[in-house]
Amino acid sequence: MQIGINADSSTINGNLAVLESMLRDFHAAGFSHVEIPVHGVDCVINGNVAMLHLAMVKQILGKFPFSYTVHAPDALNLADSLQPEIHAAALQATIDFAAEIGARIVVYHGSWESNSHNASMAKKPAPEDSVAIQAYWAREIDRLSRIAEYAALKGVTVAVENIFRQSMHERTYRIDPRELAAVVSAVNSRYLGICFDFGHAFISANEEGFAIEDALFAVLPNLVHVHIHDNYGKPSAGFSRPIDMLFQGAGDLHLPPGWGLIPYSSLFPKFASSYQGVFMMEIQPRFKDFYSNAISWVEKMVGAHSKGLEQ
Protein backbone atom coordinates (compact mmCIF):
# COMPACT_ATOMS: atom_id res chain seq x y z
CA MET A 1 0.00 0.00 0.00
CA GLN A 2 1.30 3.44 -0.96
CA ILE A 3 0.79 5.90 1.89
CA GLY A 4 2.29 9.36 1.69
CA ILE A 5 2.53 12.70 3.46
CA ASN A 6 2.99 16.24 2.20
CA ALA A 7 6.05 18.31 3.09
CA ASP A 8 4.35 21.52 4.20
CA SER A 9 5.50 24.46 2.07
CA SER A 10 5.04 27.16 4.71
CA THR A 11 7.03 25.19 7.26
CA ILE A 12 9.93 24.64 4.84
CA ASN A 13 9.80 28.23 3.53
CA GLY A 14 13.00 27.77 1.53
CA ASN A 15 14.98 26.22 4.39
CA LEU A 16 16.31 22.90 3.10
CA ALA A 17 17.52 21.89 6.55
CA VAL A 18 13.87 21.91 7.58
CA LEU A 19 13.02 19.76 4.55
CA GLU A 20 15.64 17.20 5.53
CA SER A 21 14.40 17.15 9.12
CA MET A 22 10.85 16.56 7.87
CA LEU A 23 11.99 13.68 5.69
CA ARG A 24 13.67 12.04 8.68
CA ASP A 25 10.40 12.30 10.63
CA PHE A 26 8.44 10.89 7.69
CA HIS A 27 10.85 7.96 7.36
CA ALA A 28 10.64 7.20 11.07
CA ALA A 29 6.83 7.21 10.90
CA GLY A 30 6.80 4.72 8.03
CA PHE A 31 5.57 6.68 4.99
CA SER A 32 6.46 5.40 1.52
CA HIS A 33 5.80 8.60 -0.45
CA VAL A 34 6.32 12.33 0.10
CA GLU A 35 4.76 15.25 -1.79
CA ILE A 36 7.34 18.00 -2.40
CA PRO A 37 6.08 21.60 -2.79
CA VAL A 38 8.19 23.16 -5.52
CA HIS A 39 7.44 26.63 -4.09
CA GLY A 40 8.47 25.59 -0.59
CA VAL A 41 11.96 24.58 -1.78
CA ASP A 42 12.45 27.59 -4.11
CA CYS A 43 12.97 25.44 -7.19
CA VAL A 44 10.91 27.57 -9.57
CA ILE A 45 11.89 31.23 -9.81
CA ASN A 46 10.48 33.65 -12.41
CA GLY A 47 8.94 30.76 -14.31
CA ASN A 48 12.14 28.76 -14.61
CA VAL A 49 13.71 25.85 -12.76
CA ALA A 50 16.31 27.18 -10.30
CA MET A 51 19.09 24.74 -11.13
CA LEU A 52 21.25 25.37 -8.05
CA HIS A 53 18.30 24.80 -5.73
CA LEU A 54 17.28 21.74 -7.74
CA ALA A 55 20.73 20.18 -7.27
CA MET A 56 20.61 20.75 -3.52
CA VAL A 57 17.08 19.36 -3.23
CA LYS A 58 17.96 16.27 -5.27
CA GLN A 59 20.92 15.61 -2.98
CA ILE A 60 18.65 15.69 0.08
CA LEU A 61 15.88 13.61 -1.49
CA GLY A 62 18.41 11.00 -2.53
CA LYS A 63 19.26 10.27 1.10
CA PHE A 64 15.84 8.69 1.66
CA PRO A 65 14.03 5.69 0.12
CA PHE A 66 10.83 7.60 -0.68
CA SER A 67 8.99 7.88 -3.95
CA TYR A 68 7.90 11.44 -4.62
CA THR A 69 5.00 13.47 -5.98
CA VAL A 70 5.09 17.24 -6.51
CA HIS A 71 2.76 20.11 -5.65
CA ALA A 72 2.77 23.19 -7.89
CA PRO A 73 2.71 26.67 -6.29
CA ASP A 74 -0.64 27.36 -4.63
CA ALA A 75 -0.91 30.77 -6.32
CA LEU A 76 -0.18 29.42 -9.80
CA ASN A 77 -3.06 30.31 -12.14
CA LEU A 78 -3.08 29.52 -15.85
CA ALA A 79 -5.87 32.09 -16.22
CA ASP A 80 -3.90 34.91 -14.59
CA SER A 81 -4.86 38.23 -16.17
CA LEU A 82 -1.51 40.01 -15.68
CA GLN A 83 1.24 37.50 -16.49
CA PRO A 84 -0.35 34.34 -17.89
CA GLU A 85 2.84 33.41 -19.72
CA ILE A 86 4.81 33.34 -16.43
CA HIS A 87 2.21 31.10 -14.80
CA ALA A 88 2.21 28.69 -17.76
CA ALA A 89 6.02 28.64 -17.74
CA ALA A 90 6.03 28.02 -13.98
CA LEU A 91 3.73 25.01 -14.35
CA GLN A 92 5.96 23.66 -17.12
CA ALA A 93 8.98 24.23 -14.86
CA THR A 94 7.18 22.37 -12.07
CA ILE A 95 6.69 19.45 -14.46
CA ASP A 96 10.40 19.63 -15.31
CA PHE A 97 11.23 19.56 -11.60
CA ALA A 98 9.02 16.52 -11.12
CA ALA A 99 10.75 14.68 -13.96
CA GLU A 100 14.15 15.52 -12.45
CA ILE A 101 13.28 13.95 -9.09
CA GLY A 102 11.50 10.96 -10.61
CA ALA A 103 7.99 12.08 -9.65
CA ARG A 104 5.10 11.11 -11.91
CA ILE A 105 2.35 13.30 -10.40
CA VAL A 106 2.18 17.10 -10.28
CA VAL A 107 -0.75 18.57 -8.33
CA TYR A 108 -2.19 21.85 -9.62
CA HIS A 109 -4.86 23.84 -7.76
CA GLY A 110 -6.73 24.80 -10.92
CA SER A 111 -7.40 28.14 -12.56
CA TRP A 112 -9.72 31.01 -11.84
CA GLU A 113 -10.72 34.27 -13.46
CA SER A 114 -11.89 37.48 -11.85
CA ASN A 115 -15.62 37.95 -11.78
CA SER A 116 -15.69 41.33 -10.05
CA HIS A 117 -18.90 42.45 -11.74
CA ASN A 118 -20.65 39.75 -9.78
CA ALA A 119 -19.43 40.95 -6.39
CA SER A 120 -21.90 40.55 -3.57
CA MET A 121 -21.98 40.71 0.19
CA ALA A 122 -24.07 37.55 0.15
CA LYS A 123 -22.58 34.21 1.14
CA LYS A 124 -22.56 33.04 -2.46
CA PRO A 125 -22.35 35.10 -5.68
CA ALA A 126 -25.32 35.42 -7.97
CA PRO A 127 -25.54 32.86 -10.78
CA GLU A 128 -23.52 33.79 -13.83
CA ASP A 129 -24.64 33.89 -17.42
CA SER A 130 -24.14 30.42 -18.90
CA VAL A 131 -22.46 31.91 -22.00
CA ALA A 132 -19.73 33.47 -19.83
CA ILE A 133 -19.21 30.20 -17.97
CA GLN A 134 -18.98 28.13 -21.14
CA ALA A 135 -16.52 30.60 -22.67
CA TYR A 136 -14.34 30.35 -19.57
CA TRP A 137 -14.49 26.56 -19.67
CA ALA A 138 -13.45 26.57 -23.33
CA ARG A 139 -10.44 28.76 -22.56
CA GLU A 140 -9.45 26.55 -19.66
CA ILE A 141 -9.82 23.33 -21.64
CA ASP A 142 -7.44 24.80 -24.22
CA ARG A 143 -4.92 25.82 -21.53
CA LEU A 144 -5.04 22.43 -19.82
CA SER A 145 -4.74 20.61 -23.16
CA ARG A 146 -1.47 22.43 -23.87
CA ILE A 147 -0.19 21.59 -20.38
CA ALA A 148 -1.13 17.94 -20.85
CA GLU A 149 0.82 17.87 -24.12
CA TYR A 150 3.89 19.24 -22.32
CA ALA A 151 3.46 16.82 -19.41
CA ALA A 152 3.29 13.91 -21.88
CA LEU A 153 6.75 14.82 -23.17
CA LYS A 154 8.11 14.45 -19.63
CA GLY A 155 6.13 11.34 -18.66
CA VAL A 156 4.33 13.27 -15.91
CA THR A 157 0.61 13.45 -15.13
CA VAL A 158 -0.88 16.74 -13.95
CA ALA A 159 -3.57 16.20 -11.31
CA VAL A 160 -5.95 19.16 -11.03
CA GLU A 161 -7.12 19.55 -7.44
CA ASN A 162 -10.52 20.69 -6.22
CA ILE A 163 -10.47 23.57 -3.74
CA PHE A 164 -13.16 25.43 -1.80
CA ARG A 165 -14.24 28.95 -2.75
CA GLN A 166 -11.47 31.49 -2.22
CA SER A 167 -13.40 34.63 -3.15
CA MET A 168 -16.86 35.84 -4.11
CA HIS A 169 -15.17 37.31 -7.20
CA GLU A 170 -13.84 34.13 -8.82
CA ARG A 171 -15.11 32.32 -11.87
CA THR A 172 -13.79 28.76 -11.65
CA TYR A 173 -14.58 25.07 -12.10
CA ARG A 174 -12.44 23.87 -9.18
CA ILE A 175 -14.96 24.45 -6.38
CA ASP A 176 -17.41 21.74 -7.45
CA PRO A 177 -15.61 18.46 -8.28
CA ARG A 178 -18.42 17.59 -10.68
CA GLU A 179 -17.50 20.63 -12.80
CA LEU A 180 -13.80 19.79 -12.44
CA ALA A 181 -14.57 16.31 -13.76
CA ALA A 182 -16.36 17.78 -16.78
CA VAL A 183 -13.41 20.03 -17.68
CA VAL A 184 -10.79 17.30 -17.24
CA SER A 185 -12.90 14.82 -19.22
CA ALA A 186 -13.16 17.33 -22.07
CA VAL A 187 -9.36 17.53 -22.27
CA ASN A 188 -9.32 13.74 -22.63
CA SER A 189 -5.62 13.12 -21.99
CA ARG A 190 -4.01 10.34 -19.98
CA TYR A 191 -1.57 12.99 -18.74
CA LEU A 192 -4.27 15.11 -17.11
CA GLY A 193 -6.30 13.76 -14.21
CA ILE A 194 -7.86 14.78 -10.92
CA CYS A 195 -6.54 15.03 -7.39
CA PHE A 196 -9.56 14.69 -5.11
CA ASP A 197 -8.96 16.59 -1.90
CA PHE A 198 -11.41 15.26 0.69
CA GLY A 199 -10.96 18.18 3.07
CA HIS A 200 -11.58 20.80 0.40
CA ALA A 201 -14.56 18.87 -0.97
CA PHE A 202 -16.15 18.64 2.48
CA ILE A 203 -15.95 22.40 3.00
CA SER A 204 -17.25 23.07 -0.52
CA ALA A 205 -20.10 20.59 -0.09
CA ASN A 206 -21.29 22.44 3.01
CA GLU A 207 -20.83 25.90 1.50
CA GLU A 208 -22.13 25.23 -1.99
CA GLY A 209 -24.85 22.69 -1.25
CA PHE A 210 -23.81 19.49 -3.01
CA ALA A 211 -23.23 15.99 -1.64
CA ILE A 212 -19.59 14.99 -1.17
CA GLU A 213 -20.51 11.43 -2.16
CA ASP A 214 -21.78 12.68 -5.53
CA ALA A 215 -18.62 14.74 -5.97
CA LEU A 216 -16.36 11.75 -5.37
CA PHE A 217 -18.36 9.54 -7.70
CA ALA A 218 -18.08 12.17 -10.46
CA VAL A 219 -14.27 12.28 -10.38
CA LEU A 220 -13.66 8.51 -10.29
CA PRO A 221 -13.08 8.08 -14.06
CA ASN A 222 -10.27 10.65 -13.92
CA LEU A 223 -8.98 10.04 -10.40
CA VAL A 224 -5.17 9.75 -10.25
CA HIS A 225 -4.33 11.17 -6.82
CA VAL A 226 -5.99 11.95 -3.48
CA HIS A 227 -5.33 14.26 -0.54
CA ILE A 228 -6.57 12.91 2.78
CA HIS A 229 -7.01 15.04 5.91
CA ASP A 230 -9.90 16.13 8.11
CA ASN A 231 -11.93 19.15 9.20
CA TYR A 232 -15.42 20.08 10.41
CA GLY A 233 -16.75 21.45 7.14
CA LYS A 234 -16.87 25.03 8.43
CA PRO A 235 -15.66 28.16 6.60
CA SER A 236 -12.57 29.83 7.99
CA ALA A 237 -14.45 32.96 9.17
CA GLY A 238 -11.63 35.14 7.84
CA PHE A 239 -8.84 33.42 9.76
CA SER A 240 -5.90 31.63 8.14
CA ARG A 241 -3.58 30.58 10.97
CA PRO A 242 -4.28 27.11 12.40
CA ILE A 243 -3.86 28.45 15.92
CA ASP A 244 -6.78 30.84 15.29
CA MET A 245 -9.02 28.31 13.55
CA LEU A 246 -8.41 25.19 15.61
CA PHE A 247 -10.32 26.13 18.75
CA GLN A 248 -13.33 27.04 16.57
CA GLY A 249 -13.08 23.94 14.40
CA ALA A 250 -13.11 26.34 11.46
CA GLY A 251 -11.56 26.22 8.03
CA ASP A 252 -9.12 23.95 6.23
CA LEU A 253 -7.48 22.55 9.37
CA HIS A 254 -5.55 19.63 7.84
CA LEU A 255 -6.24 17.45 10.86
CA PRO A 256 -5.20 13.79 10.91
CA PRO A 257 -7.96 11.74 9.27
CA GLY A 258 -10.60 10.58 11.70
CA TRP A 259 -10.36 13.67 13.88
CA GLY A 260 -13.05 15.70 12.13
CA LEU A 261 -16.42 15.07 10.54
CA ILE A 262 -15.58 13.96 6.98
CA PRO A 263 -17.61 10.76 6.44
CA TYR A 264 -14.66 8.64 5.37
CA SER A 265 -16.36 5.39 6.37
CA SER A 266 -18.93 5.94 3.62
CA LEU A 267 -16.50 7.48 1.12
CA PHE A 268 -13.71 4.90 1.13
CA PRO A 269 -15.88 2.09 -0.28
CA LYS A 270 -16.54 4.25 -3.33
CA PHE A 271 -12.93 4.28 -4.50
CA ALA A 272 -10.53 2.24 -2.34
CA SER A 273 -10.79 -1.06 -4.19
CA SER A 274 -10.15 0.45 -7.63
CA TYR A 275 -7.75 3.29 -6.79
CA GLN A 276 -4.15 2.59 -7.88
CA GLY A 277 -2.46 5.77 -6.65
CA VAL A 278 -0.91 7.06 -3.45
CA PHE A 279 -3.04 7.63 -0.34
CA MET A 280 -1.43 11.03 0.20
CA MET A 281 -2.17 12.68 3.52
CA GLU A 282 -1.88 16.42 4.08
CA ILE A 283 -1.46 16.83 7.82
CA GLN A 284 -0.55 20.12 9.49
CA PRO A 285 2.97 19.67 10.96
CA ARG A 286 1.77 20.63 14.45
CA PHE A 287 0.24 17.11 14.52
CA LYS A 288 3.42 15.25 13.54
CA ASP A 289 3.33 13.17 16.73
CA PHE A 290 0.29 11.42 15.21
CA TYR A 291 1.81 10.43 11.84
CA SER A 292 2.06 6.75 12.75
CA ASN A 293 -1.55 6.75 13.96
CA ALA A 294 -2.61 8.28 10.65
CA ILE A 295 -0.83 5.54 8.68
CA SER A 296 -2.60 2.89 10.77
CA TRP A 297 -5.91 4.66 10.15
CA VAL A 298 -5.45 4.52 6.37
CA GLU A 299 -4.36 0.88 6.46
CA LYS A 300 -7.39 -0.04 8.51
CA MET A 301 -9.76 2.00 6.36
CA VAL A 302 -8.47 0.56 3.10
CA GLY A 303 -8.48 -2.95 4.51
CA ALA A 304 -12.07 -2.61 5.67
CA HIS A 305 -13.33 -1.25 2.34
CA SER A 306 -11.38 -3.05 -0.34
CA LYS A 307 -13.88 -5.78 -1.19
CA GLY A 308 -15.75 -3.95 -3.87
CA LEU A 309 -16.56 -0.60 -5.40
CA GLU A 310 -19.95 0.71 -4.35
CA GLN A 311 -21.83 2.79 -6.83
The CATH number of the domain where 205 resides is what?
A: 3.20.20.150
Confidence of residue 237 (pLDDT cuts 50, 70, 90): confident
| pTM score | 0.93
The residues that bridge with 280 in the sheet, in sequence order, are 4, 227
- Report the pLDDT value the prediction gives residue 103, as an integer from 0 to 100: 98
Is it the case that residue 311 has pLDDT exceeding 50? no
Assigned domain for 225 exists = yes
Assigned domain for 309 exists = no
Assigned domain for 310 exists = no
Assigned domain for 58 exists = yes
Is it the case that residue 123 has pLDDT exceeding 60? no
- Report the pLDDT value the prediction gives residue 195, as an integer from 0 to 100: 98
Sign of the Cα torsion 116, 122, 127, 133 reads: positive
Confidence of residue 171 (pLDDT cuts 50, 70, 90): confident
Query: Which residue would you say has higher pLDDT here, 171 or 300?
Result: 300
263 neighbors 288 (Cβ within 8 angstroms): no
Distance CA 39, CA 73 (A): 5
Confidence of residue 305 (pLDDT cuts 50, 70, 90): low
Residue closest to 16 by CA, chosen among 47, 52, 70, 69: 52
Assigned domain for 193 exists = yes
Number of independent structural domains in the chain: 1
Assigned domain for 19 exists = yes
For Cα atoms 301, 191, 217, give the angle at the middle one, nearest 5 degrees.
40
- Report the pLDDT value the prediction gives residue 130, as an integer from 0 to 100: 76
Task: Write out the H or E segment, with its range, that includes residue 10.
Answer: helix 9-12
183: exposed, middle or buried (Cβ count in 10 Å: 0-12, 13-18, 19+): buried
The whole domain housing 123 covers 3-304
Assigned domain for 56 exists = yes
In whole numbers, what is the pLDDT of the chain averaged over residues? Answer: 92
- Report the pLDDT value the prediction gives residue 198, as an integer from 0 to 100: 98
Is it the case that residue 155 has pLDDT exceeding 90? yes
Assigned domain for 291 exists = yes
Query: Which residue would you say has higher pLDDT here, 18 or 117?
Result: 18
* 153-170 average pLDDT score: 91
- Report the pLDDT value the prediction gives residue 128, as an integer from 0 to 100: 60
Is it the case that residue 310 has pLDDT exceeding 80? no
* 26-47 average pLDDT score: 98
Distance CA 84, CA 90 (A): 10
Is it the case that residue 215 has pLDDT exceeding 50? yes
